[in-house]
């Protein structure tokens, strides 16, 4: 679709998208583990290869700019929107791996744009919903939030995307998106980001609740941005006309407008001179190999496995809890009629290794779901659990498990039959899982993370990964 769109344009376009977990959005795309999996593996070689493989895939799809890597240092465990999108909570690791991913992107020819400047890792608010405020001193910003940007800049990173957030220590009045102090003064002039600077979407409520989004379009240009992602919740013409009026009456200085245009044209010209790509099949194979290697290197064990392996008996029960809406109408229909048996991708993967009964429930189970578990327990020789702590824009949670799900796992553990659990996506949900039960952690919802975690749980592969964030386990 992107290649076709570009062909319709009167001149060169900069086609951009998120590639944080590969090309999950494309009909023929491939989802790969997120950046926190790279943090768990802690391999610069893998991080470089991740950037290179995802970069080739982006170019195959006609993409010019990727809004990644995420350089947020996820120091707040209650952060509802960064989480596994970050490499982790350690400043040095985020900078080092972010630089490696940057080098991989550049080697592939895809232009990287890091985010979310000036640092979205230590907030507990989703900026899609409201405006986060980061109350820290400049010294802390330099040492934590901004340090990875310096390291990645030295690796060749030129572009960044800004976050809708307030940093009172630098600019107590203006959202970062329209703050000249943060965009031009620090990011451009002090940190040396001389490439194109991009806003995040002006349709996010963090901005819309504080500034008229059409006016923000020209204010962001004045602040130092070169491209603006206009508000998709209102007619595009409104943002265009607001920006045009500000350019004509001098609110946007002519030199600032010409500077932005020069940077955009220079990037387009450079991207037009890229070498040809390998064939589609080779790119897909490279990406799939990358996804497998990252997942297998990242899989992490919390707790102690039973001596000699888990004794599952003749009738093991696999209990899966997930946000079922994201799997589409097919599962929703089956849920109404047949209770979802075998419909989940993890159930299919497990079936290849272990014949078992499957109980599939929504991430926020009902009383009826708890009764289904209670009814299934007597006939099971052992229980294996899996949960997906899924974060999503506008969801506002997902970092931790719903209360009813915590109760479901408590009942499973109380039966004495819960042998092990798999946790996918947010590792912070470890705190909600029963004490004394070993948990295998996969950091994504992709097929590679599911397969590596299932094999590790069954003792078919090791768990070499290390948690890149601090998560306390419940005490027995």
Q: Active-site residues: which are they? A: 128, 200
Residues facing 162 on adjacent strands: 117, 199
Q: Considering only CA atoms, which of 435, 354, 419, 422 is closest in space to residue 387?
A: 422
Backbone angles phi, psi at 335, to 5 degrees: -60, -40
Dihedral of CA atoms 172, 173, 179, 181 in degrees, nearest 10, equals -50
Q: Is 343 left (phi over 0), alpha (psi -120 to 50) or beta?
A: alpha
With contact defined as beta carbons under 8 Å apart, do 256 and 218 qualify? no
Contact residues for 51 (Cβ-Cβ < 8 A; gap 6+): 69, 100, 101, 102, 103, 104, 105, 106, 107, 108, 112
With contact defined as beta carbons under 8 Å apart, do 452 and 37 qualify? no
Contact residues for 315 (Cβ-Cβ < 8 A; gap 6+): 356, 357, 379, 380, 381
Q: What is the DSSP letter of 381?
A: S
151-180 in b/e form (b: 16+ CB < 10 A) is bbbebebbbbbbbbbbbeebbeebbbbbbb
Contact residues for 404 (Cβ-Cβ < 8 A; gap 6+): 364, 365, 366, 367, 369, 370
Contact residues for 299 (Cβ-Cβ < 8 A; gap 6+): 40, 440, 441, 442, 449, 452, 453, 456, 461, 463, 464, 465
Q: 3-state DSSP call for residue 360? A: strand
With contact defined as beta carbons under 8 Å apart, do 440 and 422 qualify? yes
| Helix ranges (DSSP H) in 61-90 | none
Run of H or E residues at 318: strand 316-322
Q: Considering only CA atoms, which of 9, 105, 10 is closest in space to residue 57?
A: 105
């Amino acid at each position: 679709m992107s290649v076709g769109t570009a062909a319709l344009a009167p001149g060169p376009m900069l086609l951009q998208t998120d590639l944080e977990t590969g090309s999950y959005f494309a009909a023929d795309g491939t989802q790969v583990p997120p950046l926190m999996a790279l943090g768990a593996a802690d391999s610069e070689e893998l991080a470089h290869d991740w950037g290179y493989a995802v970069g080739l895939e982006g170019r195959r799809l006609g993409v010019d700019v990727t809004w990644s890597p995420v350089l947020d240092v996820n120091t707040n465990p209650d952060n509802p929107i960064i989480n596994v999108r970050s490499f982790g909570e350690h400043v040095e690791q985020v900078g080092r791996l972010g630089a490696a991913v940057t080098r991989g992107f550049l080697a592939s020819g895809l232009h990287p744009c890091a985010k979310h400047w000036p640092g979205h890792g230590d907030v507990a608010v989703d900026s899609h919903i409201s405006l986060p405020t980061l109350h820290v001193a400049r010294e802390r910003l330099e040492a934590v939030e901004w340090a990875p940007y310096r390291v990645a800049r030295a690796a060749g990173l030129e572009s960044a995307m800004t976050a809708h957030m307030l940093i009172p220590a630098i600019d107590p009045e203006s959202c970062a998106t329209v703050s000249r102090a943060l965009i031009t003064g620090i990011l451009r002039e002090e940190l040396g980001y001389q490439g194109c600077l991009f806003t995040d979407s002006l349709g996010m409520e963090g901005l819309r609740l504080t500034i008229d989004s059409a006016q923000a379009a020209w204010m962001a240009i004045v602040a130092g941005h070169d491209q603006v992602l206009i508000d998709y919740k209102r007619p595009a013409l409104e943002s265009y006309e607001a920006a045009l009026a500000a350019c004509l009456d001098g609110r946007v200085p002519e030199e600032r407008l010409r500077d932005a245009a020069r940077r955009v044209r220079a990037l387009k010209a450079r991207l037009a001179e890229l070498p040809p790509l390998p064939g589609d099949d080779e790119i897909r194979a490279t990406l799939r190999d990358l996804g497998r290697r990252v997942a297998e290197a990242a899989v992490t064990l919390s707790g102690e496995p039973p001596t000699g392996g888990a004794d599952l008996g003749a009738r093991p029960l696999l209990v899966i809890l997930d946000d079922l809406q994201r799997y589409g109408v097919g599962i929703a229909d089956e849920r109404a009629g047949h209770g979802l048996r075998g419909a989940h991708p993890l159930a299919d993967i497990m079936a290849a290794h272990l014949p078992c009964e499957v109980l599939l429930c929504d991430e926020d189970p009902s009383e009826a779901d708890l009764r289904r578990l209670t009814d299934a327990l007597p006939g099971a020789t052992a229980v294996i659990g899996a949960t997906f702590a899924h974060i999503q824009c506008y969801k506002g949670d997902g970092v931790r498990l719903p209360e009813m799900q915590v109760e479901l796992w408590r009942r499973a553990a109380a039966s004495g039959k819960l042998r092990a659990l798999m946790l996918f996506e947010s590792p912070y949900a470890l705190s909600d899982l029963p004490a004394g039960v070993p948990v295998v952690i996969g950091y994504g919802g992709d097929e590679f993370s599911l397969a590596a975690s299932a094999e590790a749980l069954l003792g078919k592969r090791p768990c070499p990964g290390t948690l890149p964030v601090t998560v306390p386990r419940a005490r027995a």
